[in-house]
Structure 1
Amino acid sequence: MRPLFSVFSLILIVVCFSGAVSAAQPAPHRVLLVLGDSLSAGYGIAQGQEWVTLLSQRFAREAQPVKVVNASISGETTSGGVARIKPLLERETPAWVLIELGGNDGLRGMSLVAMEANLQAMVDAVEESGAQPVLLGIKIPPNYGNKYRSRFEQVFVDVAERNDVALLPFLLDGVGGIDNLMQADRIHPNQQAQPLIADNVWEFLKPVMVKRDN
């Protein structure tokens, strides 16, 4: 009986050890997808210093199991976002999608009706995939006139309210229009501004992500 007892003991030890290892494994990472333009792609910024990367590093420091995927392209418009979003959703299977698009539509004086329809189409695609859409708003320079600027900014508000989607009204809050935080083109924030933008998004996202988990 002694050899048989030894075999059972060994099996029990292996099972207990395996259970302990499984319990110690970290939670799987969930994906946060960023779909944006040059503001998120890091135009004019040293690689690894753009706000999206800094946000990813913040999740790591806070021991949050979130993988940030940056699918931003300089020059992207809302129509480009619509064309790319479904393949991105299928490939990345994100839990959250930050939609940071519309700035180039505004700068090019494109149809705000079309811009709103495109943002709505992206929100719909994200929700259909089971992910949570989040809007990052932007503002355009004053030389576009108060009427167009006001209508442009209202598009983000309307889409957010209609779909009960979280909206950060101005991605560059505390950065835009400040000389020492902007590049020479007065449109893109410089490297010094990137941590501030990352902080803006981090503080905005914390309650949004908690709400989803609850």
Structure 2
Amino acid sequence: MRPFLFSLLIIFSCSFSFAQKKLIVLGDSLTEGFGVAKEAAYPAVLEKKLHEAGKKEWTVINSGVSGSTTASAVTRMKWLYKSKPDAVLLVLGANDGLRGLKIEDSEKHLAEAIEYSQKQNVRVILGGLYMPPNYGAAYTGKFKKMYESLSKKYKLTFIPFVLDKVGGNPKYNLADGIHPNEEGHKIIADNIFQVLKGEL
């Protein structure tokens, strides 16, 4: 009887631990998976890669909303954090840049989101983005530096460019040249996984 009870305890403990950790991916249409199936968007692919690597306790929640800017981050977090996540991957700013919004405002919004998360004891992983070169060297350079500065200031796990090998490559994007196709999402998931596999 005792061995049987012990086995049940082990099974229960393993099942319980596997369901305990949540990673929210807070982003815009790039995260939502505009133009591809939900299961083909990079958060779903990332979860699969984590599970294949033995990190089955992690659930990755796709919280991408098309059109979102950095200004929406804290408001969305206040709602999403009711589910008690363990970590958030913050991938916002693309729409700010494409609309030519002031980088100072974008940085302020991201800083507020990071500080809010840290106060809630939710670990922040920051995903960096670049702007196309046609926006001018001054703007693109300042935009890139924004993420680097925030990651250093708040001592965050940092993915310098989540769209590495995908951004600007027609092979991995839809016809609009902005949103990744399924193959692009696979590469993005791998870019993120290569950083997180030793961190989570």
TM-score, length-scaled by structure 2: 0.92
1:172 aligns with 2:163: yes
Aligned partners of 2:47 and 2:40: how far apart in 1?
Answer: 11
Q: Deviations over 1:155-188 (max 9, x none)?
A: 1011110000111111111111112111122111
Amino acid of the structure 2 residue aligned with 1:94: P
1:88 aligns with 2:75: no
Structure 2 residues not aligned, in runs of 5+: none
Aligned 8 A contact 2:126 2:159 in 1: yes
Match of 2:118 in 1: 127
Larger Rg: 1
Aligned partners of 2:195 and 2:44: how far apart in 1?
Answer: 16
For the residue of structure 2 that corresponds to 1:69, the secondary structure is strand
Q: Give 1:17 deviation, angstroms.
A: 3.0
* 1:7-22 equivalence runs, <5 A: 13=1, 16-22=3-9
Q: 1:206 to 1:61 in 2, by over 3 A?
A: closer
Match of 2:145 in 1: 154
- 1:63 pairs with 54, 58, 69, which one? 54
Amino acid of the structure 2 residue aligned with 1:42: G
Task: Among all aligned residue pairs of Structure 1 and Structure 2, give the percentage whose two residues are the same amino acid.
Answer: 32
1:193 aligns with 2:193: no
Q: Give 1:16 deviation, angstroms.
A: 5.0
Aligned partners of 1:75 and 1:48: how far apart in 2?
Answer: 20
Q: Give 1:63 deviation, angstroms.
A: 3.2
Amino acid of the structure 2 residue aligned with 1:19: F
CA RMSD of aligned residues (A): 1.4
For this pair of structures, how many residues does the alignment match? 195
- 2:41 pairs with 38, 47, 50, which one? 50
Q: Give 1:88 deviation, angstroms.
A: 0.9
Structure 1 residues not aligned, in runs of 5+: 1-12, 210-214
